[in-house]
Amino acid sequence: MRQDIQFLRGIAVLYVVIYHSGLSLLPQGFLGVDIFFVISGFLITKLILERLDKNCFSFSDFYYRRARRLLPALYSTLIFTSLFSIFFLTSIQLNDYVDQFIGALTFSANMVLPGQTGYFESEAEGKPLLHIWSLSLEEQYYFLLPLFLFLLPKRFRISGLIIVTIISAVWCFMWVSSSNQEAPFLWRIGYANKYEWAFYLLPTRAWELLAGSICAWLYLNRASIKIPQFIKYLSLFIILLIGVIQLTPSHPGVESVIVVIATSILLLGKDGWLPKSPVITAIEKVGDWSYSIYLVHWPLFAFAFLSFVGNVPSIVGLVLIFLSIFLGYCQFRYVETPFRYKEFRYLFKSWKGIASISLVIAIIPLSLSSHPLYDDYADKISEIRKVNYGLDKECEDSFEDDDSLKPVCQNSNTIDTVVWGDSYAMHLVPGLVINNKNIAQITKSSCGPFLGIAAVNPKLTRQWAQECIAYNERALQYIINTDSVKTVVMSSPIRQYLFEDHQILSEDGLTPTSSSVLIEAYKKGVLALSKSGKKAIFISPPPEDGTNIGECLERKYGPALIFKDNCSISKQAYLTEQKAVLKVMEAFSRISKVILLDEYLCDESACKTEFNDTFIYRDDGHLSVDGSKIILSGVNLAEF
């Protein structure tokens, strides 16, 4: 194996592990996966082309070798991760884990995971098999590439690879930059959008592997190509530099193109350009263990994330970096090597043996899904933590096509109160309807009740933002034109308009997030309501400290064996975490009446998250249905 390739593998896996540690040392460390893709495309294509040129290529032998190379370490990781999942995962997370496991086992994880990434889904950081998506994508490439090269006449192979690379790259960046929020019908699963599918799917990421394939063809057929040593050093420097510099907010993006080109340059030409040094030798060793390190590192970080409910101490992240490398070495030494080359090689000696072992592994998700600890609790916790849509799930978008309000989004024929906003308005409704009988709900997830502006980020595209702005104009006109409406309650978490890496779409186009822009948009809406005789009230988001309180409570009372005893929110942590939001609330209070939920939940030291074993929160900030009733059942809007 070439020294420089093992060195690159070491760099790639260290990038990924350090990035996932949460230490912010390599904010672009996820680009290590892009490096892996190019290397994988190079090595696998080189192997195939060499055998095709010698007329000794065998599909059966190729796939068998892939199975023997990849499955032992993967199965080892799946077994140990599943055992630990019993201790760390809640019932909801375990159900997701079973789907992740099946996706990993069938190399379809990259098609399973986007369906688990919706707005109300649990955090990706807590999914122990999230990282298998890249392995699944590579295996799909390994499955298709031999057939493609075998069927293509030899003289057309390089042109075929180039054409498919261009198609994949164009497809990828069209989706990444697309203003359309949703993917085509055939790919529409859960809340996944084009951006997510562009990240996960083979057709949109194949260009990175194909770049390596093109390099392999050039390496074998244009041996005269020589890359000057200083160009190689420059390419390596660029790879190291790009790990800390962000050029675009989306991925794949410009950084991916740069990394793919730089890695391709390093693969062309001959080995021997790296100097000998202890550091380079150590990174090469890490490269030898890189497959196993990659497999074991993410479950470690996921279980840490779950144990600390999101706030993993820096020292823990640092320890897990070294533990990932150590366990990766152990798996390489005691699983990969014996099953591939030594004493246990016979277990993967035939397709029959591979199939038998795979069937045994496949039993694991069945046993997990029927684990007795979860039987009685799953239904109960599902009810407690169910999504709080307010009056009805249909009220995620409350209007009919003819601009009338959906019947399920009002509890009376004559309404005097409208709850307007995003999901933080939805979660108020179960409590408000107790004391306020004539309520209508006009809500849209992630779309705050602010006129003329909307948030833009990789998941909320410009097209979506335009739709949000139009939706709020629609809502305002409905409220103004409905004479019986006297009170308008608005709410939003606010933070999506304040994040530094987000943008705001307004009549001035895309601009950086700004509290002043947000305040002006709110003021504009309140003035419009006041002119039509409507009273505006803004209800603040509940106290938050950055952790998933709903999950903390579930872990505390459920069958998960690793949990925190205290899920309350420190008052100081809340004031720190929501400092910017509270400043906006203060500004809003000078424009209209503001109800602060911390007055109902907090004392001088802490904020309640449960009341007599009733969960007030369902996640990091949304109120549960029962929590909404507990807090807001005594609120009479007529008194404000």
33 alpha carbon, distance to own chain's centre: 15
Asked if 237 and 356 sit in the same domain, the reply is yes
| Of 18 and 364, more confident | 18
Q: Are residues 358 and 256 in the same domain?
A: yes
Mean pLDDT, the chain, as a whole number?
87
Residue 190 has what pLDDT? 38
**What integer pLDDT is reported at residue 195 of this predicted model?**
67
Q: What percent of the chain has pLDDT over 90?
A: 57
- Alpha-carbon distance values, 342 to 183, 336, 348 (Å): 47, 10, 11
User: What pLDDT, on the 0 to 100 scale, is given for residue 436?
Assistant: 80
Residue 606 and residue 568 in contact, taking contact as beta carbons nearer than 8 Å: yes
Domain match, 187 and 237 both: yes
Q: Nearest Cα to 610, choosing from 567, 573, 580? A: 567
Tokens of 380: 């109960």
Answer with the one of 316, 344, 375 that is the final residue of a domain: 375
**pLDDT one-digit tens code per residue, 79-137:** 999 988 888 887 777 878 888 898 998 899 888 877 665 433 456 788 899 999 999 99
Domain that holds residue 121: 3-375
Give residue 502's pLDDT band: very low, low, confident or very high (50, 70, 90): confident
- Residue 413 pLDDT greater than 50, yes or no: yes
**Local confidence band at 564 (pLDDT 50, 70, 90 cut-offs):** low
Tally of domains in the chain: 2
Condensed to tens digits (0 to 9), the pLDDT of residues 36-63 reads 999 999 999 999 999 999 999 899 889 8
Q: Is 635 helix (H, G, I), strand (E, B) or coil?
A: coil
* CA–CA separation, 450 and 447 (whole Å): 8
**What is the pLDDT at residue 476?**
95
The CATH number of the domain where 453 resides is what? 3.40.50
pLDDT at 251 over 60: yes
243 belongs to a structural domain:
yes
Residues 391 and 357 placed together within one structural domain of the fold: no
Instruction: Indicate whether 278 and 166 sit together in one domain.
Output: yes
Instruction: Give the per-residue pLDDT at 191.
Output: 39
- Do 300 and 404 lie in one domain? The reply is no
Give the pLDDT of residue 460. Answer: 81
- Are 381 and 91 spatial neighbours (Cβ–Cβ below 8 Å)? yes
- Measured CA to CA, the distance from residue 109 to residue 102 in angstroms comes to 8
Region 547-568 average pLDDT: 75
Q: How confident is the model at residue 501 (pLDDT cuts 50, 70, 90)?
A: confident
User: Mind listing the pLDDT tens digit for each residue in 621-633?
Assistant: 999 999 999 999 8
User: What is the pLDDT at residue 115?
Assistant: 66
For residue 568, tell me if it sits in a domain.
Answer: no
On whether both 365 and 392 belong to a single domain, the answer is no
In a domain, 546, yes or no: no
| 235 lies in the same domain as 277 | yes
User: What's the pLDDT tens digit per position in 134-192?
Assistant: 999 999 999 999 999 999 999 999 999 999 999 999 999 888 876 444 433 333 333 34
One domain for residues 136 and 276 = yes
- Within 8 A by CB and 6+ apart from 222, the residues are none
pLDDT of 7 over the 70 cut: yes
Q: Is there a domain that residue 571 lies in? A: no
70 located within any domain: yes
Is 519:448 a contact under the CB 8 Å cutoff?
A: no
Q: Is residue 570 part of a domain?
A: no
300/437 same-domain check: no
CA atoms within 13 A on the CB side of 550: 28
Q: Please tell me the distance from the alpha carbon of residue 453 to that of residue 166, in angstroms, as a whole number.
A: 37
341, 375, 409: which is the final residue of a domain? 375
- In this structure, the answer to whether residues 366 and 479 fall within a common structural domain is no
Judge if 364 and 460 occupy the same domain. Answer: no
What does the radius of gyration of the chain's CA atoms come to, in whole angstroms? Answer: 27
Confidence (pLDDT) at 543: 95
pTM of structure: 0.79
- Residue that terminates a domain, selected from 315, 348, 375: 375
**Reported confidence tier of residue 555, pLDDT bands at 50, 70, 90:** confident
Of the two residues 111 and 441, the one the predictor is more confident about is 441
Q: What is the pLDDT of residues 65-76, one digit of tens each?
A: 888 889 999 999
616 lies in a domain?
no
**Better pLDDT: 256 or 180:** 256
Average the pLDDT over 537-558 and give the result.
Answer: 86
Q: What was the pLDDT predicted at 60?
A: 86
Q: Is the pLDDT of residue 202 over 90?
A: yes
- The predicted pLDDT at position 593 comes to 95
At residue 65, the pLDDT reads 86
What values do phi and psi take at 414, rounded to 5?
A: -120, 105
Is residue 553 included in any domain, yes or no?
no
